[in-house]
Amino acid sequence: AQSVTQLGSHVSVSEGALVLLRCNYSSSVPPYLFWYVQYPNQGLQLLLKYTSAATLVKGINGFEAEFKKSETSFHLTKPSAHMSDAAEYFCAVSASGGYNKLIFGAGTRLAVHP
């Protein structure tokens, strides 16, 4: 069975600082991993995805994530936070045999202060 754990339900950074959102997964098969972002009163938007090609994945808005099999991690980073990055971020894994069924982590709310 697949599962996702996001460490830290709230993360606060200063504008211009490094953003690091942590995600660890558990999967019995090679995983497909995703990061989605949700802005207030909106649906989710795909930031990036890992599908067993390159381990360093670049996404939209300057975000990237590195797949580390030995650590079962898929942490999301951005070198310099912007006020507009304030949102909730969800890590997800594709359920094996699950078609478009995603298993989401609990989410991390990112606050960016001036």
User: Could you tell me which of 45, 34, 1 has the C-alpha nearest to residue 105?
Assistant: 34
Q: Which is nearer to another protein, 39 or 55 (CB)?
A: 39
Q: Which is nearer to another protein, 81 or 93 (CB)?
A: 93
Q: Which residues in this chain contact another protein in the complex, by CB under 8 A? A: 32, 34, 36, 41-46, 49, 51, 90, 92, 94-95, 98-107
Q: Which is nearer to another protein, 31 or 81 (CB)?
A: 31
Task: Give least dist CB 78 to another protein, A.
Answer: 21
Task: Give least dist CB 67 to another protein, A.
Answer: 14
Cβ pair 33, 91 in contact under 8 A: yes
Task: Give least dist CB 48 to another protein, A.
Answer: 10
Report the Cα–Cα distance between both ends of the chain, in Å, rounded: 41
Cβ pair 112, 81 in contact under 8 A: yes
85 to 35, 45, 63, 101: CA distances (angstroms): 14, 13, 10, 26
Q: Which is nearer to another protein, 18 or 60 (CB)?
A: 60
Please tell me the distance from the alpha carbon of residue 114 to that of residue 112, in angstroms, as a whole number: 7
Task: Give least dist CB 66 to another protein, A.
Answer: 18
